[in-house]
Structure 1
């Protein structure tokens, strides 16, 4: 898939998404500071959350308290939501720094607003990933979609993925665990492979709510092409998502290490050119393990392999030498040559 100018696929380095979300606490200036910190850390994409509370929730939400907050979900979002003008300015600022700006709409009105201001793609959170009417509405704008899949099974995801397929858009599915933070006992790295096998049209990624970068980095080796983590300019801020957020140093670490893992993931199992010098001394060459006379028939006890590997006959040919007759006498630890052996055809070392 492609979002703005960025191609996303197994052949490309993982796209690391810094989710500012609601960590700014409703302050545009704080949000812009977080965007700047992410940009300085080398991040390509920031993700916001667009909350129009009146269209997103009913009054019942005022009595629902999330596990990671000390106030109702209504009041959390009401306090942390940016106004329309502020979000437009945040998008402008992120793009002025060369970053890609996307956001998660939590309502139909929020989706309409993001379409109006021209986001490059939409993010669908785990809480909405089975909200097929909203998914159809978002997909109708024709933009790429990144969808987290926390709290869902493969079977429960099928109607939502079918809606994306029917819209004919490019999309990514992110393995996700929705506990903030998520301990390793409930994080599913196996889910990355399960999503890839079940939905072969999708780009697969990992939305990480654990503490530390280890799970996200490990996901790259399993095929994750997108890594999303909450982000804050400093962990000394207060907020429900701060405990599972990375700071700029950790963001830089995640970007660098994930690219290194991806680079290694592209390499087949071969001996590389830089290893040749090591190979010449590290492997063994066949030598006589004792003084042997000319005409002697070689047994296993007569030969051994010792470094360096500069000899004519590599240890890989050890068994072929048994039963050959020596054409000349050799001393202990003398490297053998094919011409020393009668009855065995020379082979090239590999």
Structure 2
């Protein structure tokens, strides 16, 4: 699991008034909340070397925004070390936002877990360079940045092999609901698929619909300003007191329980849900007396509720079912739910189309579809692949869909040389006994004569570019496959 997954960040509001003791009190309150909801939480500090960060002629100016607050809340390196220790003592993740290179050094020297880049600094290339060189995980806020700006940020850190995530953010304090643009999270997830996307909020602290919506949008990191009001300290309009922070975390936890899949990449269906639907389903009943061995038609049956356990439902019925025993009028029909090869093939095609849609890959309508089922269509989900033949000239292009848990058996080619590029999912390629895990974008060439196979845990789509595809140029290690006629292990479909 990524260090960024389901991370909740409590950012100290107003630099905790420049008081170590007040900062520690805030940290302890946030620690209580983290333990109450058993969440992965962090407290975020802010580092800047005020001796160099502010121009010397402006340090005493009271008419320039932020400078008086920065100067009045100054803390030393050692004082920040006390706060870092307090965060660790509470069992939380340590994060700071450095606003200059000296602040980056402090993050390293204090052994912080993560470095956060503020929206105002996300195009500060000297600062970003220093942060990228630390090797620490980075979180970058993108408030006020165009999609072109974010592309630059993404490429900057990708080129440096940094571990980083991006936060959608609206840098208004407080931020009006009508300008939050939460749909942009969808675009970021689609555009930057290999990084975690989160949300840094500045809206009304009492509004929890936004936090729940961001969970539903798929955000994995959540950040808000927090503070601790006292007789002399009043929080600003976008910072949360401990009670509001508690409710904010509660809303995230609740939304996760509503939205999350119970199993990885699959939809969990409970027995209670199945029973509920069966209570409204129509069962298949005999309209007339039926003799053992008859092939049923729609005229022989009727569909009605209630459904009896193990009975055929209206959705299971197809004309041609041969009954295994005699049935009286109005009797519920119980027969084995037979899945024909045609129905199996159609199910596979539907799954493959769904994967292509989810991956955003359009194939057009000029192709030939091939189901490669080495051990029969009934075993296709375990062994085989769905091959979309697009071009076969002096060069050849195919898209190959590997279903979750599916493996393509070992084979080699004498004439064809091919290269794979993974477009979506996960793929393990084995070549001459050597296994390699591919991630989206990775390429692998298979030379003539090299014995190879491939498989996927969660499903994959990859492009194959090769020399001309020649029929009967696939030589399988397993004689059970090799001895079959190609027509026995391939089904060609012109339209899907």
Distance 1:116-1:308 versus aligned 2 partners, 3 A rule = same
Q: In the alignment, what sits opposite 2:126? A: 133
* Residues 21, 139 of structure 1: alpha-carbon distance in 2 compared, 3 angstrom cutoff: farther
How far the C-alpha of 1:337 sits from its partner, in A, is 1.8
By how many angstroms is 1:307 displaced? 2.4
The question of whether the paired residues in 1 share the 8 Å contact of 2:42 and 2:93 is answered with yes
TM-score (norm 2): 0.56
1:307 is matched with which residue? Answer: 306
8 Å CA contact 2:212–2:251 kept in 1: the answer is: yes
Deviation at 1:158, TM superposition (A): 3.1
Structure 2 CA distance for aligned equivalents of residues 209 and 245 of structure 1: 14
Is the CA contact (8 Å cut-off) linking 1:45 and 1:101 kept in structure 2? yes
**Could you say what secondary structure the match of 2:139 adopts?**
strand
Aligned residue number for residue 240 of structure 1? 236
Q: Does 1:215 align with 2:210?
A: yes
CA distance in 1, matches of 2:274, 2:228: 46
Higher strand fraction (1 or 2): 2
Q: Give the match for residue 41 of structure 1.
A: 33
Instruction: Kindly indicate whether residue 180 of structure 2 is the aligned counterpart of residue 187 of structure 1.
Output: yes
Q: How far 1:278 sits from its partner (Å)? A: 3.5
How far the C-alpha of 1:182 sits from its partner, in A, is 1.8
> Which residue of structure 1 aligns with residue 63 of structure 2?
63
Structure 1 runs not aligned, ≥5 long = 65-71, 340-345
* CA displacement, residues 271-320 of structure 1 (integer Å, 9 cap, x when unaligned): 334534434434332347xxx6658x987898342124436231324675
Are the structure 2 counterparts of residues 300 and 41 from structure 1 closer, same or farther at C-alpha, using a change threshold of 3 Å?
A: farther
Indicate the residue corresponding to 2:222 in structure 1.
227
Inter-CA distance 282–233: structure 2 relative to 1 (3 Å threshold): farther
Shift of 1:195: 2.3
Superposition pairs of residues 164-313 of structure 1, within 5 angstroms: 164-211=157-204, 212-233=207-228, 237-240=233-236, 242-243=238-239, 247-261=244-258, 263-264=260-261, 266=264, 268-269=266-267, 271-287=269-285, 294=289, 303-310=302-309, 312-313=311-312
For residues 147 and 103 of structure 1, what CA distance do their matches in structure 2 show?
12
Tell me the matched-pair count.
320
Gaps of 5+ in 2: 291-295, 340-496
Q: Normalised by the size of structure 1, how large is the TM-score?
A: 0.77
What corresponds to 1:29 in structure 2? 21
Distance 2:253 2:28 in 1: 18
Give the deviation of 1:177 after TM superposition: 0.8
Q: Contact 1:32–1:93 at 8 Å: present in 2 too?
A: yes
| Deviation for aligned residue 1:129 | 0.5
CA contact (8 A) 2:289 2:327 kept: yes
Higher relative contact order (CA 8 A, sep 6+): 1
* Shift in CA distance, 201/241, structure 1 to aligned 2, threshold 3 Å: farther
Q: Secondary structure at the residue paired with 1:315?
A: coil
Decide whether the 8 Å contact of 1:124 with 1:146 is kept in 2.
yes
Between Structure 1 and Structure 2, the one with more helix by share is 1
Taking a change above 3 Å as real, the CA distance of residues 235 and 302 of structure 1, as seen in their structure-2 partners, is farther
Residue 7 (structure 2) pairs with residue 15 (structure 1): yes
Moved more, 30-39 or 268-277: 268-277
- Superposed displacement of residue 39, structure 1: 0.9
The equivalent of 1:343 in structure 2 is none
CA contact (8 A) 2:283 2:306 kept: yes
The equivalent residue for 1:336 is 332
Q: Secondary structure at the match of 2:45?
A: strand
Stretch moving more, 223-232 or 123-132: 223-232
Cα separation, partners in 2 of 1:283 and 1:299, compared to 1, 3 Å: closer
In structure 2, C-alpha distance between the alignment counterparts of 1:188 and 1:221, rounded to whole Å: 14
Take 2:62 and 2:228, find their aligned partners in 1: how far apart are those partners? 29
Check conservation: 1:285, 1:315, Cα contact below 8 A. yes
Describe the shift of the 1:162–1:302 C-alpha distance in structure 2 as closer, same or farther (beyond 3 A).
Answer: closer
Deviations 1:224-256 (A, max 9, x none): 221112223459952436546663422440452
Tell me, in whole angstroms, the C-alpha distance in 2 between the residues paired with 1:245 and 1:206.
Answer: 19
CA contact (8 A) 1:281 1:310 kept: no
Q: Residues 78 and 242 from structure 1, CA distance in 2 versus in 1: closer, same or farther, beyond 3 angstroms?
A: farther
Contact 1:52–1:81 under 8 Å retained in 2? no
Q: Which of 30, 44, 47 pairs up with 1:50?
A: 47
SS at match of 1:46: strand
Q: Is the 8 A contact 1:55 1:108 kept in 2?
A: no
Supply the distance in 2 between the matched residues of 1:223 and 1:98 (Cα, whole angstroms). 26
User: What SS does structure 1 have at the residue aligned with 2:260?
Assistant: helix
Structure 2 vs 1, CA of residues 63 and 307 (structure 1 numbering), >3 Å: closer, same or farther?
Answer: farther
